[in-house]
Amino acid sequence: MAKVNKLPLPVNDDLATLSNVARHRQMKGYPAIWAEQSTLVAAYLQYTASQGNPHVLMPAPISMTVGNLMRDYYKSSKAVVLAYINQIRDARADKVCAMCGSFGSETLDHLLPQANYPEFAILSANLVPACPCNVQRNNTVKGVSQSQRVLHPYFDSVLGQRLVAADIEDPFSQAPKMKLKILLNPMDPDFDAVRFHVDEVLMKTAIIEHFETAWANLWRRPSLLIPKLHGIAMISQPKLVYAIARERGRLDRRHRSLNNWDSVFLSGLLNVPALTSLMQRINDGPPELL
Ligand SMILES: [Zn+2]
């Protein structure tokens, strides 16, 4: 089984960090943060207890001054006690985005956005390495129903499952319409959260364009996407399934994610219409261009 999208929590001691920024007289948060430290501690504990669930967390009753200070600390502090922020950002810069599965995580996503939750602006459990999909998602965290929310890469183990596949409508056309299909059982208690996450995070990225490019490449040269097909002029359906599944397994392991965009695309080929279309392309179509 490949390693998964779910990430280990950062190891920073957030209560110690809070104590540091509250008590150091040379830091600008003193004495405002110090005066409201117990409120912030309660909010931090509530965050951990609820696993960052926006339906459960109450807004912390902090002053606007302290809210602004927390955001300032995130944005601009060079203090040693806040060095973990850059460490979390840098640790996965070249890895698959834990939020959407794209190839890169060069920014930090405040899972609960700092605009609405300034109390968690420097809380390590709220800082998730991500691609710019966090800009597209903006401040969206939850839907109307209690079960609709954005998934949390540090807490939602469902992210370790294969959650989505490309949905290739009419795979016999040259430029089929692409969508995303959820693979999780609709009876699964996490289904609504996954649906919400797909709509509010994945569908706001360039994932569909990625599939369209992948499809065009597949048609031009099948072995570009599935190296086992190189030089093959005739293939049976079982062998094609094996070649696709094997390449998908390789990508899962390489990216340590079952939901990286290339594995998601290949999952979309593992059904009869797509396989039949691809077999026709290999067996009856023009040979691969050199
Ligand atoms: Zn992303």
pLDDT digits 0-9 by tens, 244-265 = 999 999 999 999 999 999 999 9
Whether the Cβ atoms of residue 30 and residue 22 lie closer than 8 Å to each other: yes
For residue 30, what pLDDT is reported? 80
Residues 114 and 189 in one domain: no
Q: Give, rounded to a whole angstrom, the gap between the first and last alpha carbons of the chain.
A: 35
Residues 130 and 237 in one domain: no
Query: Residue 122: what pLDDT?
Result: 95
**pLDDT value, residue 236:** 92
Residue 181 and residue 115 share a domain: no
- Label residue 289 by pLDDT band (50, 70, 90): low
Whether 289 is in a domain gets the answer no
Distance 282 CA to ligand 1 centre (A): 33
In a domain, 4, yes or no: no
Average pLDDT value over all residues in the chain: 91
Say how many Å lie between the CA of residue 132 and the centre of ligand 1.
6
Measured in Å, residue 120 CA sits from the centre of ligand 1 at 20
Q: What pLDDT score was predicted for residue 21?
A: 87
20 and 124 in a single domain? The answer is yes
Q: What is the mean pLDDT of residues 136-157?
A: 94
CA 96 – ligand 1 centroid, Å = 8
Q: Which of 99, 127, 96, 100 is nearest to 113 (CA)?
A: 127
pTM of the predicted model, to two decimals? 0.92
Residues 187 and 125 in one domain: no
**Banded pLDDT at 2 (limits 50, 70, 90):** very low
Ligand 1: centre distance to CA 63 (Å): 32
pLDDT number for residue 1: 39
Please tell me the distance from the alpha carbon of residue 99 to that of residue 6, in angstroms, as a whole number.
9
Question: Are 112 and 215 part of one and the same domain?
Answer: no
SS3 category, 182: strand
Residue 200 lies in a domain: yes
Which amino acid makes up residue 161? Answer: Q
Within 10 angstroms of residue 286's Cβ, the number of other Cβ atoms is 7
Report the domain count for the chain: 2
pLDDT of 227 higher than 90: no
Q: Half-sphere exposure (CA, 13 Å, Cβ side) for 192?
A: 9
Mean pLDDT of 36-51: 96
5 vs 138: which has the higher pLDDT: 138
The domain containing residue 89 runs over which residues? 14-137
Distance 217 CA to ligand 1 centre (A): 23
Number of H helices, E strands in the chain: 12, 4
Residues 123, 205 share a domain: no
Bigger pLDDT: 27 vs 160: 160
**Is residue 3's pLDDT more than 70?**
no
pLDDT for res 96: 94
> Is the pLDDT confidence value at 69 over 60?
yes
Q: Across residues 133-139, what is the average pLDDT? A: 91
Q: Express as a percent the part of the chain with pLDDT over 90.
A: 71
Higher-pLDDT residue of 91 and 212 is 212
Co-location of 92 and 169 in the same domain: no
User: According to the model, what pLDDT value does residue 290 have?
Assistant: 47
Q: What is the pLDDT of residue 5?
A: 56
Do 173 and 115 reside in the same domain of the chain?
no
- Spacing, Cα 159 to ligand 1 middle (Å): 13
Q: Do 261 and 187 share a structural domain?
A: yes
CA separation for the pair 23, 10 (Å, rounded): 23
Say if residue 161's pLDDT is above 60. yes
Does 143 fall in a domain? no
